[in-house]
Structure 1
Amino acid sequence: MKGKLYLIPTRLGDNPPLEVLPLSIKKIIEQLDDYIVENEKTARRFIKRVVPNKSQPKLRLKVLNKYTDASELPSFLKPCLEGNSVGILSEAGCPAIADPGADIVGIAHELDIKVVPLVGPSSILLALMSSGLNGQSFAFNGYLPIDKNERKREIKTLEKRSADLNQSQLFIETPYRNNQMLADLAATLQPNTKVCVACDLTLPTEFIKTKSAKEWKNNTEDLHKRPAMFILHKK
């Protein structure tokens, strides 16, 4: 019998894991010794926080990040073919959402390995839930261009798409550029376009506000180095 592939959510910040993760996460980590992770050091730290008495030397971790050769990926699921279950751990939030885990999940389906998604926090859904914007039709766009002119063109494109489709447009930015992103949104969007900023989700410093682009021009909240999700919606 083949093992299963568990998609194991992690915290969005450095709060105690079981404050935001269900007990089912702890139970699965107690069972597994094989993991596919983005970063071995942080994965081991997370596992130790969730199950302190778990043997670290027995853990077998495969690293999956943007530098991993695609030809290596099928071998990461070898334990499943031998009858042992494997867990995928993201650096933050849910695996295979805006990270390379989706490639492994695709291979698991090809190999007829059962994929088991576990419940946990997703910054995309938490931000959308709390935005007051359209949660019936939405799109996640990842990162916008770094070049200032290209970024402004993309912001305008997303605004038009939102108006044409009545669709919320979600995106993220490297945390140290958050303040500039918000300033660009306020300067580029039409004054009445709604913008939600949701940062430090699930943490004591959580900040979630939805305002018009015009109102964000007077922003006083410092978003520097705080993981954030941006949502715009134009009616």
Structure 2
Amino acid sequence: MSIEITSSFQGSSSAGTLFLVPTPIGNLGDMSPRAVETLQNVDLIAAEDTRNTQKLLNHFEIKTKQISFHEYNTKERLPQLLDKLRQGLSLAQVSDAGMPSISDPGSELVQACIAASIRVVPLPGPNAALTALIASGLCPQPFLFYGFLSRKNTERKNELAELAAQQVSLIFYEAPHRLVKTLQSLVTAFGGERKVVLCRELTKRYEEFIRGTLPEALEWAQSSQVKGEFVLIVEGNPQKEEDKPQIVLPLEDQVRLLIESEDLKTNDAIKRVAKDNHVKKQVVYNEYHHLN
């Protein structure tokens, strides 16, 4: 039997401890006393963006030194941070907002510490995905957190094709400038009946929840000045795979969405829709060009 058990607060070790410290996703009042105390007491803070974290440290009068640790310097920083931990220094890891390692860098450091038998202590705290989920009004459990979809059209299409049959609530993150394209892709992959909640600027002054179907949310996004970071909560598929209708949107709408979301030429989009729906290309062509 090779199971490994590590206690966060019992036993002694000459190595330091890695603390995973959540930071507010918008409202500084959500910073816990334990998080402040931990950042004050560690020897060093590994921050995704030291300039952003410095504002937080200044607000809480925390004097601890920082070192940058992000996706572009992970390979260089990992051995440096491990050396400091082995020397007995304590280290806190933070991202720009919310939980470290959730759609942010950091998991590599945790894995390296575990492999080196260095203690890892997580602190609970702010998380955008769960904050959005509990206020969405959609089924809170079970759920699947996906984070950011791929920016590449083909990869994003494949991701959503795999997720379309999921019967659990789905959680996505998205930036404002990509919201329309992502909603277009969701409508194409999931159809027009799914409910969605767009959660914007959580815990901040302009916090909003936009509720409706995917097409309604897409229409809102196309006609609005979209600002702020978004969490998208999408209703799970209420139907079993074998009960799903073959055509979830009118053929014309399917062609238009493919053109907009994947930058396809009209004829290529018509061919794709015909293939996906098992109908002749001429049927799709006639409907798209209103020739019936």
Per the alignment, residue 21 of structure 2 pairs with 8
**Percent identity between the aligned chains?**
28
Across the aligned residues of Structure 1 and Structure 2, the Cα RMSD in angstroms comes to 2.4
Deviations 1:137-180 (A, max 9, x none): 222223223345664564444222x2xxx212222223222244
Per the alignment, residue 116 of structure 1 pairs with 121
1:101 Cα deviation (Å)? 0.6
Alignment CA distance shift 1:20-1:181 (3 Å): same
More contact order relative to length (CA 8 Å, sep ≥ 6): 1
1:191 Cα deviation (Å)? 2.3
Secondary structure, aligned partner of 1:219: helix
1:71 Cα deviation (Å)? 5.3
1:9 Cα deviation (Å)? 0.9
Aligned 8 A contact 1:175 1:223 in 2 = no
1:183 Cα deviation (Å)? 4.8
Q: Which has the higher helix share?
A: 2
Aligned 8 A contact 1:131 1:208 in 2 = yes
* Match status 1:176 vs 2:192: no
Q: Which has the higher strand share?
A: 1
Structure 1 portions without partners, runs of 5+:
none
Aligned 8 A contact 2:85 2:118 in 1 = yes
Paired AA for residue 200 in structure 1: E
Of residues 199-208 and 169-178 in structure 1, the stretch that sits farther from structure 2 once superposed is 169-178
- Structural mapping, 1:14-93, within 5 Å: 15=27, 17=28, 19-50=29-60, 52=61, 54-55=62-63, 59=65, 61-70=66-75, 72-93=77-98
Structure number, greater radius of gyration: 2
- Structural mapping, 1:194-209, within 5 Å: 194-209=195-210
Alignment CA distance shift 1:212-1:68 (3 Å): same
Per the alignment, residue 231 of structure 1 pairs with 233
Count of aligned pairs = 223
Structure 2 portions without partners, runs of 5+:
1-13, 239-292
Per the alignment, residue 129 of structure 1 pairs with 134
Partners of 1:125 and 1:69 in 2: CA distance: 27
Alignment CA distance shift 1:196-1:223 (3 Å): farther
TM-score when normalising by structure 1: 0.82
The one of 76, 101, 126 equivalent to 2:106 is: 101
Query: Which contiguous aligned blocks of 4+ residues in structure 1 show a shift greater than 6 angstroms?
Result: none
Secondary structure, aligned partner of 1:135: coil
Alignment CA distance shift 1:72-1:146 (3 Å): closer
Aligned 8 A contact 2:39 2:45 in 1 = no
1:199 Cα deviation (Å)? 1.4
